[in-house]
Amino acid sequence: MLNRKIFLLVLFVFSFSFAVSSQIDIHKKDTLNLKYDRKLLVKKKHNYENYTYYYLKNSGNNGFFYFKQNKKKLLKNKINPICVKDILKSRQFYSGKNNTSVIDDWELYMYFKEKSIYLIKGDSIIELEPSYLIE
C-alpha cells in the first residue's frame, strides 16, 4: 500500500512538472535587439499617460504603430543589434506605388507582437512593447 502511494506521488509530481515545462516552452518568443536610428525612429513622450514611445517615420497610414518603452537598463555585454531599416527591407511592410512609399502599420504590429524587442541606444538597453492604435 505504501509503495502504491509513493508511486502515485512520483507520477503526480512528474506529470505536473512536465505540464509546467511544456507551458513555459509555448510562450517563448524570438528576441530582436534593434539598433537605435534617429533618422528612422522618432522618440516622443505621451503627455497624458506619461510614458515614452518610439514610432517609425513614414508610418501612420492605416492606424498607428509604435513601440512603448518599458524598462531601461545599463547595457552590460556587447550586443550586435539589427538595423530596423534591414528588417523593413527584408519584409513586405510597404504599400503604395511599387510597395515602397508608405509603411503598413498593421503588418508591422503583426510582425513585432510575437517578439521580445529591445532597443540598443548608446550604453542602454530598452525593453519595448509593440502597440497599435486604430485611427
| Residue 9: inside a domain | no
Return the beta strands (E) in the chain as ranges.
Answer: 30-35, 41-45, 52-56, 64-74, 82-83, 94-95, 102-103, 115-121, 124-133
Containing structural domain, residue 54: 30-133
| Residue 76: inside a domain | yes
| Residue 8: inside a domain | no
At 28, give phi and psi (nearest 5°): -70, 140
| Residue 5: inside a domain | no
Helix-strand-coil percent breakdown of the chain, rounded to 5?
Answer: 30, 35, 30
- What's the pLDDT tens digit per position in 65-99? 999 999 999 988 888 899 988 888 766 776 665 55
- What's the pLDDT tens digit per position in 11-55? 555 555 544 444 444 557 789 999 999 898 999 998 888 899 999
Number of structural domains the chain divides into: 1
Residue with cell 524570438: 30
- Model confidence at 2, pLDDT cuts 50, 70, 90, reads low
Is the pTM higher than 0.85? The answer reads no
Residue 57, pLDDT score? 84
| Residue 126: inside a domain | yes
| Residue 68: inside a domain | yes
Q: What is the mean pLDDT of residues 114-132?
A: 93
